[in-house]
Each structure stands twice: as C-alpha cells, then as structure tokens.
Structure 1
Amino acid sequence: MNLKACIPLGTFLLASALFACHQAAPKEEQQQSAATVALQAPYSQVFYDSLQVTMQAYYQLSAAFVKADSTAATAAGAALKQHVDSLPVHTLQMDSSHLGNITGITGSISAELTGLAGEAGLEGKRASFQMVSDMLFDLLKSTGLKGQTIYHQYCPMAFEDKGAYWLSDKAEIQNPYFGHKMLSCGETRDTLIYK
C-alpha cells in the first residue's frame, strides 16, 4: 500500500474515532441525569408515615454503632423491631406475590433484630445490623419512601475487608462499622430519591 492511500485512510479512522467519542458523551450524560431523577413512591401516605418512623429508628441504631455504644444499639434495635412489626403492609395495594415478598422482608428484618438483641458483643450486633441494612434497602427499593432521599453507603474494610453497606439520610459518611476509629471511611454507592 502506498503512502498516498494510507493518509486518507488514517484520516478517516481518526475522524471515525472522534465522532464515536462525541456520540458516547450524550449517553453518559443521559445516564448521569437519569441517576438523579426522582423515583416514584406510589403507595398510601399511612404506609409512608409509618415507614418514615421506622427509618428514624434505623438511623438511631446506626448512630449507636457510630458511637460504639452496645447498650444504645440494643435499645435502638428493640425500637426498630417494634416499628418494623407494626408497618401497615396491608395498606399496600399490589399483587399478592409482591405483597408476599414485602411481608417476607419485614419478617426477616424482625427476626434479625431479635438476633441483634441476643448478641453479647458489639461486633455480633454490627453483623446483624449489616443484614438489617441490606434487607431494609431491598424493602425501600420495593416500596419507595415518599419525599425522602436515602444514601446507600459502603465501607470496603468492614468485617475483615469483606465490606458492608448501611443506609443514611445524609450524604456525609458516618461509618457504623468502625465508629470513631474510622468515622469517615466509606462512600455513597447509590442514592434513592423519591417524590
């Protein structure tokens, strides 16, 4: 192949690559803007009022772990269990399969909170907290929480570098797995914004 033929071919390939990069940018921008769009929370206000109180109890439990206060964590876990047990899931108007899934999640959260109360040490309680956090996130993704923003945060070093998630109503990191030892260790992995 001679040099005169290679130059136009090289120019064409360079132009194609630049065009492809410019085409990809709007898709990335669309994905980023889609991530900040408010999600729907379509169920009754009665349910959301109860779920909001439940989340406040969860945030108190998280705060007890941030302070490494085992006694406060036990008390906050008991309060959270009471609120989870009284969630009015019967007000959710959805198909029976979906409702069964929600009921299963709330039952599992309640059982894990019973386990949390039975744990003697702070690390055992934190392991139960991790399970509660994961299940509560699944519940929130299924039902939403009208008018609220939930930050799904992650600590990669928790549980001997296995990593663990928790939920927060603030973007600021307050790590419940290490408390004051590594208070700001972690990152927000997901944000759920409901209207």
Structure 2
Amino acid sequence: MLPSMNFSVRVPIGTFLIAAALYGCQQAAPKTTEEAATAPAAALQAPYSQVYYDSLQLAMHSYYQLADALVKADSVAANNAAAVLKQHMDSLPVQSLQMDSSHLGIITGTTGSISAELAGFEGETGLEGKRASFQMVSDMLFDLVKNTGLKGKTVYHQYCPMAFDDKGAYWLSEKPEILNPYFGKKMLHCGETKDTLSYQ
C-alpha cells in the first residue's frame, strides 16, 4: 500500500496581489479601449482668440510634463512642472475670451482653483499626496478645455479604475497611449481612454 501524499503549493502573497491587480486592470479595460483611443473624433469648435489658445497650449505642455514626472515617480521634476503650470494658469488671458460674464466667471473660477491647487502641490511630501493633487488639477483642467476648446489639438481623457483604492481617477494626455501617472511602472499601461476631444 502506497502512503498517501499531500502536496501544497505556496505562492507569496505579494505575487498574488500583483497578479490580482493586473487582472483587475485588464478586466476594467475591455477591448473597446484601443478602439476608443484610435477612433477618429469629430472635430470640435475652438472659437476664441489665438492668443488665448497659444497661452493654454503652454499650460497644457507643462501639465503633460507634470504627468510624465508622476509616471516616472520623480518628485523634483513634478514640483518643477507644477510650478511652471501654475505660472501659465495665472497668466492665462481669460479676459480675451468673448463670452457672457457668467460663463467668464466660471472660467476665471476654474483657473483660480487650478492655481490654488498647484500652490499646495510642492507641500505634499509623498507621491500619493502629489498624485491626489494632480487628480484634482486634471479634473478642473478637463472642464476648462471642454469649455473653451484647444485649437488644433487633440486631448485624450484617460481613466484608471484602480487609482486611490479602486475609487478611480482621470488624467489628460496628448497621445492615445496609456502611461499611468497614478501607478507609474507598477502598472504603467493600466487604464483606458474615455473621451477624445479633437479641436479644429
């Protein structure tokens, strides 16, 4: 009679958690993600002055540098990019926008709120705090772009469902490729493009 044999397989808990996280991200980003990112978007109108759009484009360039610094988990570069972005938001010529006063008030309030959030960005000591601040800036900047447009540019509104303990968070990108600023290299390509704004 052969003795009974008991086999046990032990998987380190960390390995299991990483695998589960990656699986969760893949589940949250179905096949339509790639289609959404590459589908041609109908051109939207950007009806305001070129002076405003030139200034907004400088701000967006700084924002993209900030996102890239967070992808790389580089706090110093993130602080520098946030400071430059704040300068651009403070000097954005919103008064050149030809719109009614109530609409202009909303735009002015949004730019002021973005600037205030960026003012506290450097004071956040950890990457998690900086990323939480970045999320708020991203949401407000998306509202600003949707309200005024960004002439001649395409903005990708991207989403990570697992950021901040699965609460989810958005960011903006100038390209369809997913480079996650909330997890960086831990889950670099976790996310999907939710909206594509393409302006004439």
TM-score using structure 1 length: 0.82
For residue 43 of structure 1, what is the aligned residue in structure 2? 48
2:59 maps to 54
SS across alignment from 1:118: coil
Q: Percent identity?
A: 76
Which structure: larger Rg? 1
2:182 is aligned with 1:193: no
Which residue of 158, 163, 188 corresponds with 1:158? 163
Please state how far the C-alpha of 1:36 moved relative to its aligned partner: 2.2
Q: Which among 63, 69, 74 is matched to residue 69 of structure 1? A: 74
Equivalent of 1:88 in 81, 93, 116: 93
In the alignment of these two chains, the number of paired residues is: 162
Q: Which amino acid aligns with 2:171?
A: W
Aligned counterpart, 2:179: 174
For 1:134, the equivalent position in structure 2 comes to: 139
Distance 1:118 1:107 in 2: 18
Divergent runs of 4+, >2 A: none
Q: Report the counterpart of residue 100 of structure 1 in structure 2.
A: 105
SS at match of 1:193: strand
Please provide the CA RMSD for this pair.
Answer: 1.1
Gaps of 5+ in 1: 1-34
3-state SS of 1:87 partner: coil
Gaps of 5+ in 2: 1-39
Identify the match of residue 78 of structure 1 among 78, 83, 89.
83
Name whichever of 110-119 and 160-169 sits farther off. Answer: 110-119
Give CA deviations for 1:157-190 in whole Å, capped at 9, x if unaligned: 0001000000000000000000011000000000
What's the CA shift string for 1:114-147, capped at 9, x where partnerless?
1111111110000000000000000000000000
Larger relative contact order (C-alpha < 8 A, sep ≥ 6)? 2
Shift of 1:108: 0.2
Q: Whole-Å Cα distance in 2 between the matches of residues 71 and 121 of structure 1?
A: 11
Matched, 1:123 2:128: yes
Inter-partner Cα distance in structure 2 for 1:85 and 1:104: 12
Measured in 1, the distance between the counterparts of 2:112 and 2:140 equals 10
Alpha-carbon distance, 1:71 to partner: 1.0
Q: Secondary structure at the match of 1:172?
A: coil
Counterpart of 2:181, as a letter, is P
Name the structure 2 match of 1:19. none
2:17 is aligned to none
The code of the aligned residue for 2:199 comes to Y
Aligned residue for 2:121, secondary structure, equals helix
* TM-score, length-scaled by structure 2: 0.80
